[in-house]
Each structure stands twice: as structure tokens, then as C-alpha cells.
């Protein structure tokens, strides 16, 4: 069975938990404590040399990268509803998941650090850091908003792993103070789509509890 090493409070771990839940994939969860640096231990780094969470193991396969884990889990579980085999839909899913990891996650992460992580550590958010990132965040959010003006979910009428991947970096959007209200289609998708999914709701308490926000 797929073994997944994670700490549910982090963005990319929550992504994997919500995605595996969505597709009903069986897995064994191994807790690696992010705040005490469990991801930097030699044992964990033998699995993921990037010293980042999450990672998965299936027999001799060691698989870092949250999006790669979701694609693999969908493949071995035949979760075609959430990772359709149609080449054009699949290409579109890959496009959004690659875009998420390369650009969307880093931008949303700036807000997460300033408005969630720093206050947790007793530090003040830096308004200048946010002001510097804001134009880039709005540019990216506008790309999502334009896409979501055309369909209910990112790649059409059905929710897929791409929706979960792109939603994860904004999973604490009220606390992150992400200005989602400026992008009505993005807001509708997040609040009335993603946040209504049972798999999303089931994986929210662990995040809030771990961060003391519950």
C-alpha cells in the first residue's frame, strides 16, 4: 500500500490528503513533524533529498512532489473520474498542476508566511513584502479567474486533481488575507466549489488544529 509521509498542516501535504480522500485512495500515513524539522532528518532525506514534505513510498518507488503523488495515486487506483484519460483533459490537468507548483504556490506562499507563519512565531507581517508580491498574485489570480469564468471546475464540468492542487496554496485564504474577492469566479470556485467538497472539509480540521487556528 502507498505510504505517505506528511504533516497535515502544510500546504502540499494538505493537498495530498484532500486529493487522496477525493479519489478514495487507500494509503498509510506516516507523520513527519514539520515544525520540529522532521523533514530534515537523514531517514526522511533518504526518501526525499529535497528535505521537503510530502513524499510517498510504494515498494521501491520513492516519490517526492505532491502533484506527482496525486497523479501516481490516481493511476494505480484507476481514479479516472478525477484524472481522466482523455489526452486533452489530462494535458490540461498537467498544465494547471505544473503552473501551480511553478508560480501559484510560491506567490500564495508569500501571504501565508507574512499573515499566518510569522504571527504564529510572534513576528510582525511585513506590508512591504505583500505590496511587492501583490501585482504578481493578482496577475496569476486573473488567469485563474478567466479560466473559471468558462466552467465550474478548472478543466471542465467535473472536479479533478488539478482543482485540489490549485486550491491547496490558498487553503487558508481568510487567514492568509488573499484578496480573492477581487476575482469573483475564483472566489465562487473556492468558496462554493472546493470548500463544499467533503474531502476538503474532512482535511481542514487537521490544518487548523496543527496551526492553533481551530
Q: Near ligand GSH by CB under 6 A, which window of 64-72, 131-139, 176-184, 201-209?
A: 64-72
Q: Is residue 117 within the footprint of ligand GSH (CB under 6 A)?
A: no
CB of 35 to ligand GSH, least distance (A): 10
Three cell numbers written together for 129: 513584502
Instruction: Sort 180 into a burial class: Cβ within 10 Å, 0-12 / 13-18 / 19+.
Output: buried
Binding residues for ligand GSH, total number by CB under 6 A: 10
Q: Is residue 53 within the footprint of ligand GSH (CB under 6 A)?
A: yes
List the one residue from 4, 6, 10, 167 that touches ligand GSH (CB under 6 A): 10
Q: Is residue 52 within the footprint of ligand GSH (CB under 6 A)?
A: yes
Q: Measured between alpha carbons, how far is residue 52 from residues 99, 147, 182, 210 in Å?
A: 19, 30, 32, 18
Within a 13 Å sphere around the CA of 181, how many CA atoms are in the beta-carbon half?
2
Q: Is residue 163 within the footprint of ligand GSH (CB under 6 A)?
A: no
Binding track over 23-42 against ligand GSH, x by CB under 6 A: ----------------x---
Contacts of 3 (CB under 8 A, 6+ apart): 27, 28, 30, 56, 57, 58
Nearer to ligand GSH, 49 or 78 (CB): 49
Q: Is residue 187 within the footprint of ligand GSH (CB under 6 A)?
A: no
Three cell numbers written together for 121: 512565531
Q: What whole-number distance in Å separates Cα of residue 34 and Cα of residue 2?
A: 21
Q: Measured between alpha carbons, how far is residue 213 from residues 45, 162, 205 in Å?
A: 29, 27, 9
Nearer to ligand GSH, 66 or 160 (CB): 66
Please name which of 51, 55, 56 lies closest in space to residue 38, comparing C-alpha atoms: 51
Q: Is residue 65 within the footprint of ligand GSH (CB under 6 A)?
A: yes
CB of 37 to ligand GSH, least distance (A): 7
Query: From the CB of residue 149, how many other CB atoms can be counted at a distance below 10 Å?
Result: 13
CB of 41 to ligand GSH, least distance (A): 12
Q: Near ligand GSH by CB under 6 A, which window of 10-18, 22-30, 77-85, 155-163?
A: 10-18
Q: Is residue 66 within the footprint of ligand GSH (CB under 6 A)?
A: yes
Task: Summarize as ranges the residues that interact with ligand GSH (CB under 6 A).
Answer: 10-12, 39, 52-53, 65-67, 101
Amino acid at each position: 500500500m502507498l505510504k505517505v509521509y506528511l504533516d497535515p498542516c502544510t500546504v502540499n501535504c494538505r493537498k495530498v490528503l484532500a486529493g487522496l480522500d477525493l479519489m478514495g485512495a487507500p494509503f498509510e500515513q506516516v507523520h513527519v513533524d514539520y515544525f520540529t524539522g522532521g523533514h530534515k532528518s537523514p531517514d526522511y532525506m533518504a526518501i526525499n533529498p529535497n528535505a521537503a514534505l510530502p513524499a510517498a513510498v510504494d515498494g521501491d518507488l520513492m516519490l517526492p512532489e505532491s502533484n506527482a503523488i496525486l497523479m501516481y495515486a490516481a493511476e494505480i487506483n484507476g481514479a479516472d473520474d478525477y484524472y481522466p484519460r482523455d489526452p486533452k483533459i489530462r494535458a490540461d490537468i498537467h498544465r494547471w498542476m505544473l503552473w501551480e507548483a511553478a508560480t501559484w504556490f510560491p506567490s500564495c506562499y508569500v501571504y501565508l508566511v507574512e499573515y499566518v507563519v510569522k504571527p504564529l512565531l510572534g513576528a510582525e507581517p511585513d506590508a512591504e513584502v505583500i505590496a511587492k508580491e501583490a501585482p504578481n498574485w493578482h496577475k496569476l489570480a486573473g488567469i485563474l479567474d478567466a479560466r473559471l469564468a468558462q466552467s465550474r471546475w478548472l478543466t471542465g464540468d467535473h472536479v479533478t486533481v488539478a482543482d485540489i492542487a490549485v486550491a491547496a496554496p490558498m487553503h487558508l485564504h481568510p487567514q492568509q488575507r488573499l484578496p480573492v474577492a477581487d476575482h469573483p469566479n475564483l472566489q465562487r470556485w473556492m468558496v462554493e466549489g472546493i470548500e463544499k467538497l467533503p474531502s476538503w472539509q474532512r482535511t481542514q480540521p487537521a490544518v487548523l488544529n496543527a496551526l492553533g487556528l481551530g
